Structure 1
């Protein structure tokens, strides 16, 4: 995934940290082998190369992510879309080098081949149909899923208290050995003079989408172009890191007005930051405010 992971935990009796590390690396390796668009041999890359009309039975991890991705694509009106892999690659954010500013006609052609609504997914049989020309890119949701997967692995090892972080996405469970919760500060863009907003991750995950991150690229799937509404960061808290990850991406695309309205409507705990003449402006949804007050 082009990033790092780290784990802090209160060890349960009999847990061997070295054995746990091996298990985590293997678990993440399975996810990468299924859903990495950087790996030519991944199941996702194979789907992207598949002929039109072909059906593909998905392994459990891939199936869980596709189901959630399609749900959030529909709920966000296409602001989150797992089918824009070709557009992402054309903008220079894929596995192969590409010009950062492709011509408009090329973007429009790639956008015509994309669209989450073109995918047919049989949830019962966990089969996905390649309609032809669709290139999946799950980078806006798979990292969050990986956080959830490691959290599940900890439970398998009998570990009930821990904090897992992958590339800035976090999920906490239980409490620290000193009795405190797993406190984390919501991520701020560089130079933002904002009061620190600290959240206790107790059975809770947080993901942040920001235009200041290394390699950040906020592409509106509905147009194929970069967003231009000035929103610099969205943090979303959810009980699942996968949903937090995808919703942070979708709300960043929608912007400070449309995104905030949708987050409020769906009772999402989110913080929006955007740049104004006076500096960085913060807006917090009612669901997040209730967490802070409570």
Structure 2
């Protein structure tokens, strides 16, 4: 294994309706790492996409009321989604699919056109994760009639973790995967760690002068309410839904960034924080998770040792 270089190789491209970025400490390992990432993205899209009628998720939702057998990857993604719901007391819940569609997010964000949207309709409270019948041993799923699953809150983070771990294993080098603000690092990092820009928009090209942090492993996720937005009537709505109301949560945080042992754990905490509003500060402190929360007025809150804002020249990051 060769030492990490000071300037990792990187590539960015469109995937899963967002921007995917791959960084590798050894440029010679990029091709192998990219093959791993491409395969993981294709697999998770086929399993968990809400926007493909042939995906496992779409077929499971269409069969609501009947039992269906699912693949090992879909089972893993569902396990993660149900774990998120259990650990957040239903704040991050996969049964919000109907509510998300009612708000207008029923096509990929790139295809969403305001002129196509009907007046705002709120679906009301979600059924809740306990309504899902899941036999893990048999990989048999039954979704109640009238309920639709949405695994988007956690499936992308799971893909980042899986791809980073596998690419590091295959190449023997440090890897960072960024899927629209969901980041996972595996293997030996470059000197000083992976330097991450924390921004409102994961697709921002000019992050100079913005806050940055360094990570050496694990995950970092930023959830935001300013990028994936659209108008319904006289309201602006976004992609994060409160399962209790079926509506977007009260506007408290513009972005929430959380560092954790994995991208999945960071994603769950950042999404939960957006829904909880001010209650998120206590929740993050009790969990011991370093986080940076930006209020809608731009005021910044930091908890559990998240460092004061610093800047560097080379960065990689953003919000989803």
State whether TM-score is above 0.5. Answer: yes
CA offsets, 1:122-169, max 9 Å, x none? 233333222222211111111111111211221331333122111122
Q: Distance in 2 between matches of 1:263 and 1:200?
A: 20
Which residue in the other structure is 1:286 paired with? 304
Q: Whole-Å Cα distance in 2 between the matches of residues 11 and 204 of structure 1?
A: 19
Conserved in 1, the CA contact under 8 Å of 2:219 and 2:265?
no
d(CA) in 1 for partners of 2:69, 2:286: 35
Q: Distance in 2 between matches of 1:67 and 1:241?
A: 15
Task: Find the aligned partners of 1:203 and 1:282 in 2 and give their Cα distance.
Answer: 25
- Verify: 1:219 aligned to 2:253, yes or no: no
Q: Secondary structure at the match of 1:143?
A: helix
RMSD between aligned residues? 2.6
Pick the aligned partner of 1:200 from 214, 228, 231.
214
Q: Conserved in 2, the CA contact under 8 Å of 1:12 and 1:159?
A: no
Give the secondary structure class of the aligned counterpart of 2:94.
coil
Q: Which residue of 1 aligns with 2:88?
A: 76
* Unpaired runs of at least 5, structure 2: 1-15, 230-237, 311-320
| 2:53 alignment partner, one of 40, 44, 50 | 40
Asked if 1:271 is matched to 2:292, the reply is yes
- Alignment equivalent of 2:152, drawn from 109, 132, 139: 139
Structure 1 residues 80 and 231, CA gap change in structure 2 (3 angstroms): same
Q: Judge conservation of contact 1:10–1:159 (CA < 8 Å) in 2.
A: no
SS at 1:84 equivalent:
helix
Q: Which moved more, 1:163-172 or 1:43-52?
A: 163-172
Q: Does 1:4 align with 2:28?
A: no
For 2:72 and 2:224, how far apart are their aligned partners in 1?
Answer: 30
Q: SS state of the match for residue 264, structure 1?
A: helix
Count of matched residue pairs: 273
Find the aligned partners of 2:158 and 2:118 in 1 and give their Cα distance.
28
1:241 to 258, 263, 266: 263
Of 128, 131, 154 in structure 1, the residue corresponding to residue 167 of structure 2 is 154
Task: Find 1:95's aligned residue among 82, 92, 107.
Answer: 107
Taking a change above 3 Å as real, the CA distance of residues 33 and 134 of structure 1, as seen in their structure-2 partners, is: same
Q: Is the 1:79–1:221 contact (alpha carbons within 8 Å) kept by the matching residues of 2?
A: yes
TM-score (norm 2): 0.77
- Displacement of 1:196 in angstroms is 4.8
Q: Deviations over 1:53-104 (max 9, x none)?
A: x333332222222222212212222221111111111111112876364345
Question: Which residue does 1:184 correspond to in 2?
Answer: 196
Change (3 A) 1:248 1:101: farther
| Structure 1 residues not aligned, in runs of 5+ | none
SS of the equivalent of 1:271 reads strand
